[in-house]
Copies of this chain bind each other. A is one copy, B any other.
Amino acid sequence: MSKLLKDIREAIVKTGLKDGMTISFHHHMRNGDHVLNMVLSEIAALGIKDITVNASSVFDVHEPIIEHIKNGVVTGIECNYMGAKVGRAICEGILEKPVVFRTHGGRPSDLEKGSSHIDVAFIAAPTSDDMGNCTGKIGKSACGAIGYAFADAMNADKVVIVTDNLVPYPLHEYSISEVYADYVVSVDEIGDPNGIVSGTTKITRDPVGLRMAEYAAKVIDASGLLKDGFSLQTGAGGATLAAAKFIKEMMLKREIKGSFGMGGITAYMVDMLEAGCFKSLIDVQCFDLDAVRSLRDDPRHMEVSATHYAGVSGKSAAVDSLDAVLLGATQVDVNFNVNVHTDSNGYIMGGSGGHSDTAAGSKLCIIIAPLTRARLPLVVDRCMTISTPGKDVDVVVTQRGIAVNTKYGKNAELKEKLIKAGLPVCEIEDLKDRAEKLSGVPAPVKLTDKVVARVLYRDGSEIDKIYAVK
């Protein structure tokens, strides 16, 4: 018995994939992924139409999907994040059905609850045996954690493992078990590991970014959370990475023994682990190759499923134990709602990812963003798209002031602490005024009434809609 098939085409045929079905992909190869394009190309060649693509994220490398939409091969997209290239096309209205955006925790939970269904999952696996025991930790295309693929493997009707490093049975350090795999396909290359680092940045050297980072670190310090057992998630943006560096310095200086670092993991978090700031890393995806190496070699660096990381269908998730998270924003509104889906021109260029999951779970959710970008104000009356609801946001840090969110009956004490620490605390409306003084009040973006995307909150409810740009 072996599950090995000749090629992707044979796998598509064997799974019984037909018009109207939903297929899925994970995004751990990020902008280096080849599998989504390879599979769609074969599906198109087989004449199959009306496919919904449920990918944990869609990157610029997946631009060929635009052509498949135009040809009727792809008629639906569901994802947690969408890069600007495909996002622009979506906002121009090329897809009849609205894109469904979920969060990194909501996606697996919807699969587990049955409110989302996958007919065939195609799982890019940097190493697999012929029965489908697979991992992202080793192999020429090693991407580290494959935490977003667990729910696909566990819940899709059919599961195809696509690997470029087929090893003899049994692969003993598997992340996903053969229990879930129907077929295995060996290909030349599932992706380019160098594409994994796309979207992440180096620690900022920009004085604006450094000031925000320093403020954010001081907010955490003033909050009282920075003590033994401290846990932290940062994104991969330049200012949040700089904030992590400031926090690391404080922790080392004061000999604070933190608990865990979490998230998409970067070299900076690995560095904090190795420096003794944390006793472990909780890793659902690796943002760079240092993280891949650490996950492979350091047992304190642990891979988790998206459900374990941030789901709502389980009895708990790691985000529920998180102290502080540093997150970005394209817009924040006066009710502290945050937009990470659309840019100021109304075009899709992102998505929740784990934004609203970590905001909801953490004790302290800090948004770091410059007061203006490209002459557009950060703070507005109402976000063009609400990605994360204001009730889950605690502090907005800009280079020109820090707003504490006391609008939902909490954080009064936190606000006092920040003021006492000498931080430039102001109201969110003050930030709006200061931003508008710098950049003026922008002309409203012209949108049509055509819904191009629905934004689902982590519990599966609709939190907002995105409209086509005029």
Please list the residues of chain A having a beta carbon within 8 angstroms of any beta carbon in chain B: 1, 3, 131-132, 159, 168-170, 172-174, 177-182, 229, 259-260, 279-280, 282, 299-302, 304-305, 307-308, 311, 314-318, 320-321
Contacts and interface: CB of A to CB of B under 8 A. Distances in A.
Contacts of A316: 1, 3, 131-132, 178-179, 181
What does DSSP make chain A's interface, helix, strand, loop or mixed?
loop
A229 B307 CA distance: 36
Tell me the number of copies of this protein. Answer: 2
A301 B170 CA distance: 11
Choose among A1, A131, A178, A259 the residue with the greatest number of B CB atoms under 10 Å from its CB: A178
Contact of A179 (B3, B131, B300, B317): B317
B168 A259 contact: yes
Contacts of A301: 172
Nearest to A262: B170
Contacts of A302: 170, 172-174
A305 B179 contact: yes
Given A170-B280, A172-B300, A182 B321 contact: no
Contact of A180 (B177, B182, B315, B320): B315
A147 to B, nearest CB: 11
Nearest to A313: B179
B314 A169 contact: no
Nearest to A112: B179
Contacts of A181: 315-316
Contacts of A305: 177, 179
B315 A179 contact: yes
A107 to B, nearest CB: 15
Contacts of A131: 316, 320-321
Contact of A169 (B173, B180, B321): B321
Nearest to A108: B179
Given A131-B320, A131-B321, A132-B315, 6 more contacts: A170-B282, A170-B321, A172-B282, A172-B301, A177-B308, A180-B314
Contacts of A307: 177, 179
A308 B179 contact: yes
Contacts of A279: 168, 172
A100 to B, nearest CB: 24
A158 B182 CA distance: 30
Contacts of A159: 315
